[in-house]
């Protein structure tokens, strides 16, 4: 494994850091409310940071999403990449890639996904019917990647007949919405394995986003406890504060390293189903601990809903449940490991 970023990945991450630092300020985020920041999204796409994902791969995307998470920037970057650019590039036909990728890369088209599949949407001859109760960034989307009950993937235009969207407020301001399909026409994307590939990439990418959210929360806590004094000395000199911050740091690094491993394996075309589940589990369980610690270490300020650290708390809790909470992911991981062991035992028996 080699987690060192390539020159292209490092350059893209550096550019994202500069743009997000300049535009994703607390004041602008507060002004955006629960919506997306159109100016910031335009700046990111104009700089080529969406189109670049085709070149820098999932590991490169994870590096960029960490920067988004640090600032909790309200743009549909993660969704457009993992539910649009990456699956279309990997599983689309030549015609689909030529038609969809340029628009997704420039931000003219915005994608999101009705993931994970929970059997709510059925397909009949390319016509989709059903409901996805909370789809992130749906209010910004022009296309939705929809898995049906048989886990086939379909691209649906949000302005197509039979498609209805309505706003939904979640803990994180993701411009989410409820998607209702009534015999809506869908465009098939990829073969039977496309769903598992897209879900693994999405889990890995959103784990990277959670790593950034946690790193940003911890950085705010470190800054606050280093400058806030109590009994004549900084709060950071108290052993309890140091231990809590150290635990949060270790949890954040565990999310990061498992995410890097899953992303690297996916980029290399290696089996990564269990690695993506592991990264998602760390993002869920450890991410929840970190954002709680960040808020707690701010003392009374942590209870202020207008304080920047509260935004990290809300994002962390939303990412804890998105694409599967910790117990669900652990159960799925255990079943996968058991199935792999059974297959290996069967193969050994046949060879004997």
Dump the DSSP string for 94-131.
HHHHHHHHHHHHHTSS-EEE--S--S-EEEETTEEEEE
What CA–CA distance (Å, rounded) separates 350 from 231? 71
Q: Which of 305, 279, 98, 278 is nearest to 206 (CA)?
A: 279
Which residue, 56, 49, 47, is CA-closest to 6?
56
Q: What is the pLDDT of residues 276-312, one digit of tens each?
A: 999 999 999 999 999 999 999 998 888 888 899 999 9
Burial 28-46, CB ≥16 within 10 A → b, else e: bbeebeeebbeebbebbbe
Within a 10 A sphere around the Cβ of 86, how many other Cβ atoms? 24
- Residue 49 contacts residue 12 (beta carbons within 8 Å): yes
Q: Where are the alpha helices (DSSP H) in the chain?
A: 7-23, 26-32, 38-46, 53-71, 77-80, 86-91, 94-106, 194-227, 239-267, 273-296, 308-321, 326-351
CA 77, CA 85: separation in Å to the nearest integer?
10
Q: What is the pLDDT along the chain (352 residues), one digit of tens a residue?
A: 777 889 999 999 999 999 999 999 989 998 888 789 999 999 999 999 999 999 999 999 999 999 999 999 999 999 999 999 999 999 999 999 999 999 999 999 999 999 988 878 999 989 999 999 999 999 999 999 999 999 999 999 999 999 999 999 888 888 999 999 999 999 999 988 899 999 999 999 999 999 999 999 999 999 989 888 777 788 787 888 899 999 999 999 999 999 999 999 999 999 999 999 999 999 999 999 999 999 999 988 888 888 999 999 999 999 998 988 989 999 999 999 998 877 766 666 666 5
Burial (CB count within 10 angstroms: exposed 0-12, middle 13-18, buried 19+), residue 27: exposed
Residue listed under structure tokens 């450890």: 286
Of 318, 292, 322, the residue nearest 172 (C-alpha): 318
CB atoms within 10 A of CB 7: 7
pLDDT at 348 (0 to 100): 61
Cα–Cα distance measured from residue 140 to residue 175, given in angstroms and rounded to the nearest whole number: 7
Q: Give whole-number Cα distances, 309 to 196, 221, 227, 286, 296, in Å.
A: 34, 8, 16, 17, 10
CA separation for the pair 285, 181 (Å, rounded) = 33
Residue pair 312/291 in contact (Cβ under 8 Å)? The answer is yes
């Amino acid at each position: 494994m080699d987690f060192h970023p390539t020159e292209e990945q490092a350059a893209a991450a550096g550019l994202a850091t500069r743009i997000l630092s300049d535009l994703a300020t607390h004041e602008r985020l507060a002004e955006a409310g629960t919506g997306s920041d159109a100016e910031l999204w335009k700046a990111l796409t104009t700089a080529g940071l969406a189109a670049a994902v085709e070149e820098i791969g999932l590991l490169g995307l994870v590096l960029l999403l960490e920067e988004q998470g640090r600032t909790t920037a309200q743009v549909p970057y993660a969704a457009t990449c993992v539910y649009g650019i990456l699956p279309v590039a990997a599983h689309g036909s030549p015609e689909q890639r030529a038609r969809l990728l340029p628009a997704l890369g420039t931000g003219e088209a915005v994608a999101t996904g009705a993931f994970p599949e929970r059997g709510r949407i059925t397909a009949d001859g390319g016509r989709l019917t059903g409901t996805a109760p909370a789809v992130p960034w749906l209010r910004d989307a022009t296309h939705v990647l929809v898995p049906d009950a048989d886990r086939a993937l379909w691209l649906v235009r949000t302005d197509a007949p039979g498609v209805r969207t309505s706003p939904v407020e979640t803990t994180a301001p993701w411009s989410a919405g409820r998607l209702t399909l009534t015999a809506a026409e869908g465009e098939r994307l990829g073969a039977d394995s496309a769903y598992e590939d897209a879900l693994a990439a999405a889990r890995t990418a959103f784990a990277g986003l959670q790593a950034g959210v946690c790193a940003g929360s911890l950085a705010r806590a470190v800054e606050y406890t280093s400058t806030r004094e109590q009994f004549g000395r900084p709060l950071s000199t108290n052993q309890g504060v140091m231990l809590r911050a150290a635990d949060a740091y270790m949890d954040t690094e565990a999310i990061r390293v498992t995410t890097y491993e899953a992303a690297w394996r996916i980029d290399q075309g290696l089996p990564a189903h269990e690695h993506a589940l592991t990264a998602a589990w760390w993002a869920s369980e450890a991410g929840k601990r970190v954002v709680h610690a960040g808020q707690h270490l701010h003392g009374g300020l942590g209870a202020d809903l207008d304080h920047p650290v509260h935004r990290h708390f809300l994002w962390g809790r939303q990412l804890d449940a998105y694409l599967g909470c910790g117990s669900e992911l652990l159960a799925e991981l255990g079943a996968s490991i058991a199935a792999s062991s059974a297959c290996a035992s069967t193969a050994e028996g046949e060879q004997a």
